[in-house]
Structure 1
């Protein structure tokens, strides 16, 4: 019996070496290889502009939102700030912060931001209530917070445990503009955002979708036992919400109305690790794909003991993955799906050399804003007239 734990640790260590080598040297396949050929694939480098996050050295405009006046976009970045794009001045300006306990280190080097996320905050999903002008934010550490129309410091709404499970990693959100109800995800009750790679490898199933009613303050858990739920989007008619389940590379549909109310089904399978999801004004939904789930990763995830073994190792898996991803390059893309889950359009940066993950695609007035958790810029992409 004494040898078994040692064998398990040795096996895990060997797997770690193999994974490390693969991530570093496997060139992978083109992100669009398993996208249906009937979809429209366009290279971002055809008509794009990089909008640098030049104010303060932060990175990672993960999600976008436009205010009731159409101004913006607004984006959360790695040091806990919400920034607003000033179209007249052509640069980003500070708008708000999600934490009231900020310290000097919050404005330090990006390399130090992950260490202070629990203090400075890390804003992820954003959405305005168009009636009140308030900006609701899913902050990975502060929970669900709200910012008044003039900006400033956010007010915490839900940061405590819900039904005895902590909000370990608050992530995506959307708002029913008719009722004001907020739908948001908590990706895990065990792992924090900075340990997202361990969250994926472990197969953790503590993710949830929660509904918050601002008027009554009522909190309802709609869906339990999800594996890394991420972005969430309400359908145009309000009959259902779509939930991106990152680890399983798929989108789930949870019915709110109709005779199917309260049921959950698979809406679409994705070619990679999905992140945020937003409705398109042209119909359907835009999904940001962080990176391709290649054959070797599929194999790792199909054997839970391997991932759990890797998590047990005395290594910072997220830091190691980030380092290797820089060497290998991410293979992110954005996909527009129809209301039936069919692929309509694909946008990927396949030629510019700026191979980064894509966390979100927000469409506004013929422009697609592409975000990323690890880039020092947002991409402003002009949608070709033939696709409008």
Structure 2
């Protein structure tokens, strides 16, 4: 019995030893695993830092440019704050999204919408619509390129309008017949570069149109990247309908946006949106000059007013009493490059309004580029953004 008891006792001690050994091996393996993870993490960080060093130190891999805008203007004189944009009457409120440019004729309004439609509105109702594609699910960030996004629109002749679609090209639209013609295709490069972001359009005569291509790199969904990079990748192009020829008339522009025939009939004025300026281009000599500089916002569409004046809608304001992200970021190209790399464009579109003042403004210029009047909604309660202003007895924005 003693022998058996002794054997049982030895077996119990052996089990304890084995248990301690297994526990030791378990902790040993755990720490070894943690050590490997730590080592892999260090290697990963070193590789990441090396890649980032080459990404942001090599000037050949950076796309952002240093820039400096003039000191933001004061809201005094013709820019003095008022409440003229606070008494508004809404047309089709919450029924349409994104009317960018307008042709107003009596009780009729023609405009393009976010979902790709070009519509004829009369007596506060959509009476006709035209789409350039057969896509059915439209009106989102992802569907813009396939559905199209009509922006600039003008009267071409008695029966037809001409429309610039940001993605698809230039179309001639006949609402009476319910038809359209695709006269300029964005899939065809012009002088070696594709048109990525067609924006506004102007009619020189019934056979010639002139239009802006805001960037040959970024499309409309990446509009913030155009501001952040600050590269002169925009162009102005002219198209002759009878011959089908499209040519570049101005190049190396900073986000060319709205375009309008000047009252002199010999030149056009166009917005360099990201530079808060308007320039004038002589159509005979192709000479370009400054027309209006250091504007109190970023100019969008430009349209004629009474007595040789011009109305400009501002896509965002910049003045001495409010912060401006675009002004402040000019001295920090590395920061802007990082923002481009890490923040998805859909987030910019969704949240960028939180980074700018809630202040809507329209300005009126004389034929020499001097600001003579401004209209405001300082809180953005009634109007948040102004892409275009057109006056027919009353202003349409």
Secondary structure at the residue paired with 2:108?
coil
Match of 2:101 in 1: 63
CA-CA distance at 1:336 after TM superposition: 0.7
Larger helix proportion, structure 1 or 2? 2
* Correspondence list, 1:341-352, <5 A: 341-350=369-378
CA-CA distance at 1:318 after TM superposition: 4.7
* Correspondence list, 1:113-152, <5 A: 113-129=140-156, 131-150=157-176, 152=178
| TM-score of the two chains, using structure 2 as the length reference | 0.76
Match of 2:273 in 1: 246
Match of 1:273 in 2: 298
Q: 1: CA distance between counterparts of 2:325 and 2:225?
A: 17
| 1:93 matches 2:130 | no
* Pair 1:59–1:222, CA change in 2 (3 A): same
Q: 2: CA distance between counterparts of 1:304 and 1:93?
A: 48
CA-CA distance at 1:234 after TM superposition: 0.6
Q: 2: CA distance between counterparts of 1:325 and 1:39?
A: 22
Match of 1:6 in 2: 52
CA-CA distance at 1:8 after TM superposition: 8.1
Cα deviations across residues 274-326 of structure 1 (Å, max 9, x unaligned)?
Answer: 1111111342111110112444431212443332232122x214523532415
On the 8 A contact 1:9/1:309 being kept in 2, the answer is no
* Correspondence list, 1:1-388, <5 A: 3=49, 5-6=51-52, 34-39=74-79, 42-55=82-95, 58-66=96-104, 70-87=106-123, 90-97=124-131, 99-103=132-136, 105-106=137-138, 110=139, 113-129=140-156, 131-150=157-176, 152-159=178-185, 160-177=188-205, 179-257=206-284, 261-269=285-293, 270-293=295-318, 294-313=323-342, 315-325=343-353, 330-350=358-378, 353-364=381-392, 366-370=393-397
The alignment of Structure 1 onto Structure 2 pairs a total of residues equal to: 330
| TM-score of the two chains, using structure 1 as the length reference | 0.77
Secondary structure at the residue paired with 1:62?
coil
Q: 2: CA distance between counterparts of 1:50 and 1:276?
A: 20
On the 8 A contact 1:196/1:318 being kept in 2, the answer is no
Q: 2: CA distance between counterparts of 1:8 and 1:360?
A: 43
Secondary structure at the residue paired with 1:297?
helix
CA-CA distance at 1:151 after TM superposition: 5.7
Which has more radius of gyration?
2
Secondary structure at the residue paired with 1:173?
strand
Q: 2: CA distance between counterparts of 1:38 and 1:349?
A: 15
CA-CA distance at 1:9 after TM superposition: 7.7
Cα deviations across residues 254-275 of structure 1 (Å, max 9, x unaligned)?
Answer: 1114xxx211111112121111
Contiguous gaps of at least 5 residues in structure 2: 1-45, 58-71
CA-CA distance at 1:33 after TM superposition: 6.5
* Alpha-carbon RMSD: 2.6
CA-CA distance at 1:328 after TM superposition: 6.1
CA-CA distance at 1:61 after TM superposition: 0.8
Secondary structure at the residue paired with 1:66?
strand
Q: 2: CA distance between counterparts of 1:85 and 1:329?
A: 31
* Pair 1:158–1:10, CA change in 2 (3 A): closer
Contiguous gaps of at least 5 residues in structure 1: 12-31, 371-388
Q: 2: CA distance between counterparts of 1:239 and 1:202?
A: 33
On the 8 A contact 2:298/2:314 being kept in 1, the answer is yes
Q: 2: CA distance between counterparts of 1:305 and 1:321?
A: 21
Q: 2: CA distance between counterparts of 1:318 and 1:298?
A: 22
Q: Which structure has the higher relative contact order (CA within 8 Å, separation 6+)? A: 1
Match of 2:69 in 1: none
* Pair 1:71–1:134, CA change in 2 (3 A): farther
Secondary structure at the residue paired with 1:73?
strand
* Pair 1:125–1:282, CA change in 2 (3 A): same
On the 8 A contact 2:81/2:378 being kept in 1, the answer is no
Cα deviations across residues 26-62 of structure 1 (Å, max 9, x unaligned)?
Answer: xxxxxx962441457542355321112454xx41111
